[in-house]
Amino acid sequence: MEVWMLWVVAGVICIIIEIFTPGFFFMSLGVSAIITGLLALFIEPVYWHFIIFILVSFLLFLNLKKLGKKLISDKSKPTNVSALIGKIGKVTKKIPIDGKGYVKIGGEEWPAMEIDNREVEVDSKVIVKNIDGNKVIVEKK
């Protein structure tokens, strides 16, 4: 088997390993090995192959790491009931001490409990601090 083929086979193996181990490390090695293999068709001394491989691996690793951070970054917004946390609501049914009342948040009414088990009167403004099952845990504003 020729040297360029060994580089390409090593590159393909690294890319396959990357599928099972995320992090872009093996991807940069695999792509570098394939590039080195293609350049090995034109460059004869083997020590140049290793120099090319190391340089290309380093450059790809730095750039793929930046790309990976962009792809993996969590820019998502909370959805469903998690989106209620931080919202302001109005008490529609009194929240008794250690009891459950009702709060209107964005046009919907939710069962609610006060975070410190205090009483909250009707028409009081509250802020949603947490969710517990189907109840919102609120704090008087």
pLDDT digits (tens, 9 = 90+) for 34-83: 999 999 999 989 999 999 999 999 998 888 777 777 777 666 676 677 88
Could you give the CA distance from residue 26 to residue 89 in angstroms, rounded to a whole number?
Answer: 50
Evaluate if residue 87 carries a pLDDT over 70: yes
Question: Taking all residues of the chain, what is their mean pLDDT, rounded to a whole number?
Answer: 90
Average pLDDT over residues 71-96: 83
Report the sign of the C-alpha dihedral through residues 59, 62, 64, 70, in that order.
negative
**Cα–Cα distance, 116 to 131 (Å, whole number):** 14
pLDDT at 83: 85
Q: How confident is the model at residue 115 (pLDDT cuts 50, 70, 90)?
A: very high
Q: Where in the chain is the domain with CATH 2.40.50.140?
A: 80-140
Confidence category of residue 98, pLDDT binned at 50, 70, 90: confident
Q: Which residues contact 70 (CB under 8 A, 6 or more apart)?
A: none
Q: What is the pLDDT of residue 79?
A: 66
Task: Specify whether domain 80-140 bears CATH 2.40.10.480.
Answer: no
